[in-house]
Structure formats: structure tokens, C-alpha cells
Amino acid sequence: MCRYCHKRHHTLLHIDRQNQSTNNKGLTNNNPPAYAKGNPTAEVKKYYSFKGKPRYQILLATAIVEVQNKSGHYVPCRTLLDSASQSHFITEKCVQRLRLSRTQTHESIQGISNANTAIHHSVAIHLRSGHTDWHGTLDCAILSHITGMTPSTKLDTSSWKIPKDIRLADEQFDQSGSIDLLIGADLFYEVL
């Protein structure tokens, strides 16, 4: 039973429609509920997460780059290009697929809302473009996952007028797929 409206849901699931429209932050409500008025330490935090099908899709910059494996062969890897990242990342699954040697590292990566992620290993990779003669070496922090499937759902590109004479950095940009690497700001414009 909700302590706000006395309806059949948990108090933490209550959405205060009036408060939500005036305060569009949506993450926390530090106003004490009616039952806690006499208790100065009571505080209820509300967290929201969108799990439904999005009404629109934000298209992120992805590219297929070739990364050298332990045997010296180049393997295609799907890369997210992030102009706001100060570091480069690779997934544990990709490191295992490439059979690369890792280096023990003890770092902490700070993200949104000051969330910290401990990094225990990193790896040096050599990568190249599949379209040009660009190549480079990166030190990547190893993470279990970089992000979810990107894009989250298949995009309908049937009405898009993509010129036939250009080669896309990711020919399957409209297909939902996993991300192997994240290339940060210092190489973003070189790869782009």
C-alpha cells in the first residue's frame, strides 16, 4: 500500500504527477512524505528508468575498425566513437577473441553522477581503418561491457537517401549490435 496515495503499489513506485511536472529532474525527491514529517532523518529517493520502446532513436557514431590479434591478423571490431570520453575502452569478450595479453592496472574511471568503475587490466591494441591507410596504437581499459546494444532497436532507413557512392564506416549502423571498443576524444576526429 502506497503511503502517499494509499493505492495498491509500493511507496517507492509512487509518481507524484504534480511534483514531476514542476520539477523535471525526475531522479530524486528529497521532500519528506506525509508519514515522515515528524522524523527529520526520513528521506525517500525515487529512481526512474525507461524500459519501453523509445519513440525516437539517437544515432551514435559507430565504425568498423580492424584490430590486430595475437597472431598478427586483423579482425573487424565494432567501435563506438565518443568525443566526450577521456579514455579508450575494450570489452573483455573482444580481448579474449583477439587473444591479447593484458597488463595489470589499478585505475578508477569516473562517469555520470560520479559513478566509479574499477579498472584492473588494460591492453595495447594496434588498429587500422578498413577504408583508408589510417592506423594507430591505443591503450584501452578492459571492461566487461561498454554499453548495451547499439542502436537499441533496428532503425527503419528505407526512406533515407544515403548516397550510393560513399562507403559508410559501419555498413550496418542501423542494425542493433554489440560494441567491442570505445574510442575517446583524442582520436575521435582522426577516426571520424
pLDDT surpassing 60 at residue 26? no
Domains of the chain: 1-49 (no CATH), 62-191 (2.40.70.10)
Residue position matching grid coordinates 560520479 = 114
> What pLDDT digit, counting tens, does each position of 113-165 carry?
888 999 999 999 999 998 899 999 999 999 999 999 999 889 988 899 999 89
> What pLDDT digit, counting tens, does each position of 69-91 carry?
999 999 999 999 999 999 999 99
Q: What is the pLDDT of residue 17?
A: 56
Q: What is the pLDDT of residue 189?
A: 80
Fill in the DSSP letter of residue 79.
Answer: E
Q: What is the pLDDT of residue 75?
A: 98
Q: What is the mean pLDDT of the chain?
A: 81
Residue positions counted in the chain: 192
Please give the residue that has the higher pLDDT: either 13 or 177. Answer: 177
9-29 burial: b if 16+ Cβ within 10 Å, else e: eeeeebeeeeeeeeeeeeeeb
Cell of 182: 570505445
